[in-house]
Amino acid sequence: MNAVRVHRPGGPEGLVYEEIPDATAGPGQVVVQVEAIGLNYAEIGRRRNADPASLPGPMGGEAAGTVVEVGEGVTDVAVGDRVAFAGVTGAYAERVAIRSGAAIPVPDSVTSKQAAAAILQGMTAHYLALDAFPLKQGDTCLVHAAAGGVGLLLCQVAKLKGARVIGTVSTEEKAQAAREAGADEVILYTQVDFAEEVKRLTDGRGVDVIYDAVGQTTFLKGFDCLRPRGMMVSYGASSGAIAPLDTSILSRGSYFLTRAGMAAYTAGRTELHKRGTEVLGWVGSGDLKVHVCAEYPLAEAGAAQTALEARETIGKVLLIP
């Protein structure tokens, strides 16, 4: 089978499309014939910072396809089942062996491309808006990178929960995409100071919660536009790592801060499946619309990552084996 692996740290030229041994199902595992692979910004960091001592190494963690082999002891998944998975190393491949418990059923109303585009980032939006800071009717949230893969889904989930959504983006094209996803107000942070604009839009009160995957360039300024006892939810750092924090900044408004991650919100099979099933159910019903902006052949993973890294994309990028 063919796969893309990283052979040296640094730029996208370190990604190599090559033939590797076929995936096989061990005890408790299934093999998925991959039909679509979701690209995520975290994979760029893994490529850049790959450990030379452990190369070549697998890439990717999110995909959807059809089960073609089941291992010993597997009773909950069968050959022919359509499934999606996230958080599984090595998804940049034609076939992937995964734990049977990681296989989330894909409804007939959802395509494999939709499932691959929604499963990881959709579950991220789900835990952010329903658990990290549970939004309710009347809340106001600030979504940074509102036209990104998570951002577009998070805007929609926030609206499902009855919240007012303020999004930040870099271009007018991205602003339009965020509005179409339900953002009530969109701030072009390249043109105005987003903290001052948030204060204006909230009559000086500030927002109840900030969902921040940007990190270095947005994090500290975010505290200038939180209401007293509001929450900062940091869940990524696409612009660079956040510097060590002097927690006295929280005392300015008795703010809450959390660094949220998928692992803690999908810690067991029950929670993983409940979250994933609800997200794919929303996709199937049309309540959650997935925006796929580009598809690349698996062999062109380097080009796909380059587009994502340059922030040229709106929504989700897919690799197709």
CATH of the domain at 192: 3.40.50.720
Is 52 part of any domain? yes
Give the pLDDT of residue 14.
96
**Are 248 and 130 found together in one domain?**
yes
**Are 11 and 71 found together in one domain?**
yes
- The pLDDT-based confidence of 164 (bands split at 50, 70, 90) is very high
CATH of the domain at 20: 3.90.180.10
Question: 232 or 311: which carries more pLDDT confidence?
Answer: 232
Calculate mean pLDDT across residues 101-116.
98
Report the number of distinct structural domains present in the chain.
2
**Are 258 and 315 found together in one domain?**
no
Domain span holding position 191 = 121-263
Last residue of a domain, one of 263, 279, 307: 263
**Are 170 and 297 found together in one domain?**
no
**Are 306 and 256 found together in one domain?**
no
Give the pLDDT of residue 269.
93
Calculate mean pLDDT across residues 9-13.
96
Is 283 part of any domain? no
**Are 223 and 306 found together in one domain?**
no
Is 217 part of any domain? yes
Helix residue ranges per DSSP H, the chain = 41-48, 112-127, 149-160, 172-180, 194-201, 219-222, 262-265, 269-285, 301-309
Is 112 part of any domain? no
**Are 235 and 171 found together in one domain?**
yes
Give the pLDDT of residue 310.
87
Which two three-digit tokens encode residue 107? 């409804």
Give the pLDDT of residue 142.
98
| CB under 8 A, 24+ apart: contacts of 134-139 | 134/161, 135/161, 135/162, 135/163, 135/209, 136/161, 136/162, 136/163, 137/161, 137/162, 137/163, 138/162, 138/163, 138/164, 139/163, 139/164, 139/208, 139/209
- Does the pLDDT of residue 311 top 90, yes or no? no
Give the pLDDT of residue 312.
80
Is 51 part of any domain? yes
- The pLDDT-based confidence of 129 (bands split at 50, 70, 90) is very high
Share above pLDDT 90 across residues of the chain, in percent, rounded to a whole number: 94
Q: pTM, whole model, 2 decimals? A: 0.93
Task: Kindly state the DSSP code that residue 315 receives in the 8-state scheme.
Answer: B
- The pLDDT-based confidence of 206 (bands split at 50, 70, 90) is very high
**Are 58 and 186 found together in one domain?**
no
Residue-wise pLDDT tens digits, 211-224: 999 999 999 999 99
Is 284 part of any domain? no
**Are 136 and 253 found together in one domain?**
yes
Last residue of a domain, one of 263, 283, 307: 263
**Are 32 and 140 found together in one domain?**
no
Give the pLDDT of residue 147.
94
Rounded to the nearest integer, the mean pLDDT of the chain is 96
- The pLDDT-based confidence of 41 (bands split at 50, 70, 90) is confident
Is 149 part of any domain? yes
Give the pLDDT of residue 239.
87
Is 200 part of any domain? yes
Give the pLDDT of residue 315.
86
**Are 150 and 45 found together in one domain?**
no
- The pLDDT-based confidence of 249 (bands split at 50, 70, 90) is very high
**Are 56 and 140 found together in one domain?**
no
- Does the pLDDT of residue 264 top 90, yes or no? yes
